[in-house]
Amino acid sequence: MDHSGVCLFCLLLGLGFTTPSGNYWFTMFNDYGATFSLLFIVLIEVITVSYIYGIKRFEKDIEDMLGHRPNWYWKIMWVVVSPLLLIGLFVFYIITYIQGGTPTYQAWDKDVGKSVQTEYPVFGQVFIGLLLVSSVSCIPLAALYAFCRKRKHGVVQKESVSTVAA
């Protein structure tokens, strides 16, 4: 797909936000399109850098870029504090989502003259599920694709899938 195809796709996607129900779609994307996905992506990134790539290798890369090794504070943040905080936030978000019941949004009720909590219809709940799955599934699918591709070409060696930092 060239640049014009991407522009056309984004234009068509953005048109939905300009319709009378645009605020409805915006609220759906805003409430469910970013929080869970970003928490998951950052958690995977922190775990990957700290434990799979290895803190020693990461420390060496930073030394190559900055000319000095990061002090103990940063290592503790990367290896202990950040993963624990992110796991805590992730668990809190999931518990809040489960206990919250059916997803709701604020809708204007002209009879009452104010905004009221309204449950998303079934198609909205399905769309929320697809929105969450589509943004989160890219990481494991890309990892699986890369692993299978390397395995197909015979490149996978025992140490290439090791979690021990070199």
In a domain, 13, yes or no: no
pLDDT tens readout for residues 57-80: 999 999 999 999 999 999 999 999
In a domain, 136, yes or no: yes
Q: Based on the structure, what is the number of domains in the chain?
A: 1
Contact 40, 64 (CB under 8 A): no
Owning domain of residue 116: 22-155
Domain assignment of residue 162, yes or no: no
Identify whether 9 is part of a domain. Answer: no
Mean pLDDT, rounded, for 143-148: 89
Dihedral-angle region of residue 54 (phi above 0 means left; psi in -120 to 50 means alpha; beta otherwise): left
SS3 call for 115: strand
Report which DSSP code applies to 118: E
Reply yes or no on whether the pLDDT at 135 is more than 80. Answer: yes
For the chain, the 3-state helix, strand and coil shares in percent, each to the nearest 5, are 75, 5, 20
For the whole model, what pTM was predicted?
Answer: 0.71
**CA separation, residue 61 to residues 47, 52, 57, 135, 166 (Å):** 17, 15, 6, 29, 12
Query: What is the pLDDT at residue 158?
Result: 52
User: What residue type is assigned to position 126 of the chain?
Assistant: V
* Lookup: tokens for 1: 């797909």
